[in-house]
Each structure stands twice: as structure tokens, then as C-alpha cells.
Amino acid sequence: MEEFRIPTLGERFPEMEVKTTKGVKKLPDDYAGKWFVLFSHPADFTPVCTTEFVAFQNRKKEFEQLNCELIGLSIDQVFSHIKWVEWIKEKLGVEIEFPIIADDMGQVARQLGMIHPNKGTNTVRAVFIVDDKGIVRLIIYYPQETGRNIDEVLRVVKALQTSDKYGVATPANWPNNELVKDHVIIPPATSEQEAKERLEKAEKGEIECFDWWFCHKGL
């Protein structure tokens, strides 16, 4: 069996050609200039996975507003995906509009570390967030028994894009942090002079600081 090294944060997403419910796609090239969230689920026609797909679809427009596309994946054949999507539309009234990768040979799942031997032969609930340059920005693995919080995935995309745009970091639970509310964190000073300037800016009300190394501001 071919061995793969799982991509790490900051690396380019590995190039691959995949079968999906929307035809063959090349990753990450077909999404050049766009962000995408690739998420795996253990199997079609399972309750927790169904709730996740409905939740992702219900937030699809919010992801699109962030220039971000959704891509599902499981080790199922494409006809299984198609029938499951039909069932969701017929029974639950939700049309799944994003592509689902049919990784029936499990090659993509192995390459991305989605199969964890201690959790069986199906994929765990992995999440890969890839930016508009094809770079992996976030990886999360959930066990099969725990459904994902889709709002958290959406929040992280917003946080990463905010960090990129403004050169800042985001605090815990942003934009609802207990200490700084919806403010962002200014990177720590890297010199004595910069530390002094930070405090001077705080005195002028340009930024807010708990100390020279912990400063924040609104956007």
C-alpha cells in the first residue's frame, strides 16, 4: 500500500484528481482564487452525517460570501452519494448543492489522514480549510460519534481571512471574547522601541493595551 505524508499547516494542498457528484475535479487547481472547506464524513445514509450536510448546506451562502466553497467526501461510490442527496431533498426538503467526492478506493482519505485505525475503516470527520492560494490553513479531526459545529468552521474561515487582511490575530471565541469583545489582537512588539510606541499609541487612544505585549483594537 502506498504511504502518504499528511499535509501540514502552511503547505500547499496536495494535487489530486477526484470523482464527485458534480463531475471530475482537480484539487486545488479548480479552486484557484477561492478558499474551500473539504470535509469528510464516515458514510452516506447515516444520521449524524445527514445533520452535518444539512447544516453545511444551510450556511453555504455565508461561506460563498467569504469566497469559500464546500466539498464533502466519504469512502462511498458516486451513485450512493447521488441517492443520499436525493433522499435528503425528498425527505428533508434540503438540496445539497456542493460536490461530494466519491473516494470509493480510499486513496484521498489515506493521503489526507482521514482514516484512523483505532476508529475503524471509515473516515473520521476531518476538516481541511484551504485558502485562495491552495495553502492548507486549518486541519481538525473529529471522531465519528461527534457531529461538527458548522458555525465554528465558518467562524474560523472569517478569522483566518481577517488575520490575512489586517496582519492581526484573533482571540478566543472571537468575535465574542470575554476580555476584548470583537477586537483583534495586535502582534506583540519585537523591540523596546516598538513596545514604547505601543504604549504611546494606547495613551492617545489609537489602540488599547493591558500591557505592551497585549494590545488590541477594533476594525
118 and 24 part of one domain? yes
Does residue 7 have a cis peptide bond before it, meaning omega lies within 30 degrees of 0?
A: no
144 and 171 part of one domain? no
Q: CA of 43: how far to CAs of 38, 52, 146, in Å?
A: 15, 12, 14
Write down the catalytic residue from 49, 68, 209, 215. Answer: 49
74 and 179 part of one domain? no
- For residue 45, what is the domain's CATH number? 3.40.30.10
Phi, psi of 7 (to 5 degrees): -65, 150
129 and 97 part of one domain? yes
171 and 215 part of one domain? yes
Comparing 61 with 6, the larger pLDDT belongs to 61
194 and 121 part of one domain? no
- State the average pLDDT for the chain: 94
- The residue among 97, 114, 148 that closes a domain is 148
Asked if 9 and 133 count as a contact pair (C-beta separation under 8 A), the reply is no
CA distance 32 to 135: 10
CA distance 195 to 175: 25
Residue 17 makes CB contacts below 8 A (sequence gap 6+) with 24, 25, 26, 27
Q: How confident is the model at residue 4 (pLDDT cuts 50, 70, 90)?
A: low
Boundaries of domain holding 111? 16-148
All three cell numbers of 96: 445539497
- The order of strands in the sheet holding 100-102 is 23-27, 16-20, 100-102, 68-74, 35-40, 125-130, 136-142
Q: Is the pLDDT score of 124 beyond 60?
A: yes
pLDDT, average across residues 82-107: 95
Q: How confident is the model at residue 13 (pLDDT cuts 50, 70, 90)?
A: very high
Give percent of the chain with pLDDT exceeding 90: 87
**215: annotated active-site residue:** no
CA distance 112 to 105: 13
Count: domains in the chain: 2
Query: Taken in order 91, 94, 97, 101, is the CA torsion positive or negative?
Result: negative
- Quick one: which of 143, 18, 131, 139 has its CA closest to 72? 18
Q: Residue 181 gets which letter from DSSP?
A: B
140 and 193 part of one domain? no
Q: Is the pLDDT score of 3 beyond 70?
A: no
What is the predicted pLDDT for the residue at 63?
98
CA distance 123 to 40: 7
Q: Is the pLDDT score of 5 beyond 90?
A: no
pLDDT, average across residues 94-111: 93
Q: What is the pLDDT of residues 158-203, one digit of tens each?
A: 999 999 999 999 999 999 999 999 999 999 889 999 999 999 999 9
What is the predicted pLDDT for the residue at 2?
52
CA distance 212 to 12: 35
CA distance 201 to 213: 13
Q: Is the pLDDT score of 88 beyond 80?
A: yes
Rg (CA), the chain: 20
